[in-house]
Amino acid sequence: MCAGARGEFLSNECRLSVTQKRSLCVNTTPYWLDTAKIKTFPPLSEDITVDVLVVGGGITGLTTAYLLKEAGMTVAVAERKQLATIDTGHTTAHLTHVTDLRLREMVKNFGKDHAQAAWDAGAAAIDQIEELVRKEKIECEFTRVPGYLHAPVNGGTKDERESFREDAALANELGFDATYLGIVPKMQTPGVRFANQAKFHPRKYLAALAAAIPGKGSHVFEETAISKLDDEKHRAKANAQFPPRFAQRSGYSIRVSSVSICG
Ligand SMILES: Cc1cc2nc3c(=O)[nH]c(=O)nc-3n(C[C@H](O)[C@H](O)[C@H](O)COP(=O)(O)OP(=O)(O)OC[C@H]3O[C@@H](n4cnc5c(N)ncnc54)[C@H](O)[C@@H]3O)c2cc1C
């Protein structure tokens, strides 16, 4: 029940109108969580050995684990809550190589080569998602769409036309398909159109990757928090209690060659 719907929460002075109450009663569950189920996985319940422990079951961890398994390694994903419910479950899910830092700024701070490398990496990441969608036949609404960078819809405080022209020209020079627009569709403000970006349903996509990880010595665990990494012993500890309760085993060990921290 939402705050304000129960009268006892509110004094007479701050009683809300029906409309105000309704506006407080919005469902804040992300669309992605509401519209895709990911199979659940058990917590770690014994000591195990794998080549790589992947800490975190968001898009970074699940992609890493999937690719490592594809490369012939055994992996264990340890997720302390449920898969793809934290940042990955709350994302807007725009797949774009356009960084939050404007291209002009990036070139000014790091040079053209590094700016190009950062954008190339983003483009390669989108290509990889597209490739996995095709290879695993994942129905996750992956669609190539243009992406738009534009001035604030209320017009903002400064005239950004020149800076958008510069960003578009720089992007072209670095090999990216970008076009300056005097008016961005629906926004009625100037901006840049970047071709070949994409959108998808992240949890439908990750449900398929997660399902492909277990087996042949690889595992996915939920409710499994990694609390300690021991470099020398090549061992990680999961679900350990500090201090351990008397006569009770405290957590389980994962023997590993490498650890990938994705949490
Ligand atoms: C509102 C919002 C909008 C966004 N929009 C976009 C967008 O449009 N495009 C875009 O590219 N990006 C966007 N992002 C960013 C993007 O969602 C994140 O960069 C991405 O989801 C991060 O994924 P991740 O796997 O690295 O992290 P997470 O999804 O947070 O996963 C990390 C996981 O690690 C687990 N973990 C942490 N510590 C431990 C431990 N000790 N043991 C076991 N597990 C552990 C956590 O429980 C968590 O599940 C947005 C983010 C937000 C919040």
Residue 160 C-alpha to ligand 1 middle, in angstroms?
31
Per-residue pLDDT tens over the stretch 90-139: 999 999 999 999 999 999 999 999 999 999 999 999 999 999 999 999 99
- In the chain, CATH 3.50.50.60 sits at 36-90+204-261
Q: Which residues of the chain have pLDDT under 70?
A: 1-24, 242-249
Ligand 1 binding pocket includes 78 (Cβ within 6 Å)? yes
pLDDT, residue 103, reads 98
Cβ of 159 closer than 6 Å to ligand 1, yes or no, is no
Q: Is the C-beta atom of 191 inside 6 A of ligand 1? A: no
Does the beta carbon of 165 sit less than 6 angstroms from any atom of ligand 1?
no
Please list, residue by residue across 115-148, b when 16 or more beta carbons sit within 10 angstroms of its beta carbon and e when fewer do.
Answer: bbeebeebbeebeebbebbeeeebebebeeebbb
**Predicted local distance difference test score (pLDDT) of residue 248:** 60
* DSSP E strands, 107-222: 143-150, 178-181, 191-199, 219-221
Question: Would you state the pLDDT for residue 11?
Answer: 43
Q: How many helices (H) and strands (E) does the chain have?
A: 8, 12
Provide the CATH topology of domain 36-90+204-261.
FAD/NAD(P)-binding domain (3.50.50)
Name the residue of 32, 77, 92 to mutate for ligand 1: max ligand atoms within 8 A of Cβ: 92
pLDDT at 20 (0 to 100): 65
